[in-house]
Amino acid sequence: MEKIKYITLLTDFGNKDPYVAEIKGILFSSLSNINIVDLSHEISPQNIIEGALFLEQIWDYWQIPSVHIAVIDPGVGTERRIIIIHENQKFLICPDNGLATFILRTKHAEVRHVKYFNTLTQYISNTFHGRDIMAPIAIQLVKGGNWEDFGPSVDDWQVLNIPEAYKKDNNIYGEVIHIDRFGNAITNIRKEQIQDNLPIYAKIKNSFQKIPFSLSYGKVSVGQSVCLFGSGNRLEIAVNCSSAEKQLKIKIGTEVRLVLNKD
């Protein structure tokens, strides 16, 4: 395999505490000519689902030899395992808590349970395995370490129990699974679930309002609601130049029905 020149970081550490800067110090101090790329440190604290959706969405845009460290890790210091996932030219190092759910659902990836790695320090904390275990694993991989040496292949990884949208007659029933910075409500209804019948409008549970289906936010007037397939190919409900979350009082879990054209 080509030499790995990129390590990315995805965490729930935020940007005001020193945790990310400690990891960067360790990585830069051990590896020359490495690019460390912040994916996000603003995943909500301990929110594994948010992290898993983030990883799903970005995964295919990284088409280079790279190591991805994902630390949303409420179980740090307990018996939860640390795993490495190897897919194509990429490695993902993360706790075995469901973070890799969506990647492992769709990719032919191999997974190993990390049992052996070269520590950098004598002492490993019980509260910060991103720094004390996952960063050293990344360093070992970038230095050319054989990934089979980290531990046995496993197939019993943790999976998040995320509801799937389903089709019945000319409706698709789903729910909101993420709300982005713009207040766009992103659902579990995927573009592939639409086949011959075109979407007409969506309805939010307990609301009479028909939210028209369109191709872009700006196709309705400012302040009007609209639904469309967003950049991740999921149905999202938006308000042009405003927040659907606030204006339509949508939350994660809000049920959504997408009405399709009849035959």
**Under a CB-based contact definition with an 8 Å cutoff, are residues 140 and 30 in contact?**
no
Rule CB under 8 A: which of 67-96 touch a second copy?
Answer: 74-78, 80
Q: Which of 168, 142, 169, 107 has its CA nearest to residue 26?
A: 142
181 or 262: whose CB is closer to a second copy? 181
Q: Is 3 one of the binding residues for a second copy (CB under 8 A)?
A: no
**Under a CB-based contact definition with an 8 Å cutoff, are residues 50 and 73 in contact?**
no
**Could you tell me the smallest distance in angstroms from the CB atom of residue 131 to a second copy?**
7
Rule CB under 8 A: which of 178-217 touch a second copy?
Answer: 180-183, 215-217
132 or 175: whose CB is closer to a second copy? 132
* 233: CB partners within 8 A, 6+ apart: 190, 191, 192
Rule CB under 8 A: which of 20-49 touch a second copy?
Answer: 20-26, 28-29, 35-46
**Could you tell me the smallest distance in angstroms from the CB atom of residue 71 to a second copy?**
12
* 163: helix, strand or coil: coil
Q: Is 15 one of the binding residues for a second copy (CB under 8 A)?
A: yes
**212, β-bridge pairs:** 201
Q: Is 106 one of the binding residues for a second copy (CB under 8 A)?
A: no
Rule CB under 8 A: which of 217-256 touch a second copy?
Answer: 217-219, 228, 230-232, 240-241, 243
Q: What is the CA radius of gyration of the chain?
A: 21
Rounded Cα gap, residues 20 and 11, in angstroms: 8
User: How many residues bind to a second copy according to rule CB under 8 A?
Assistant: 70
> Taking every pair of C-alpha atoms in the chain, what is the biggest distance, in angstroms?
68
Structure letter (DSSP) for residue 2 = P
Contacts to a second copy by CB under 8 A: 6, 8, 10, 12-26, 28-29, 35-46, 50, 53-54, 57-58, 61-64, 66, 74-78, 80, 125-128, 131-132, 180-183, 215-219, 228, 230-232, 240-241, 243
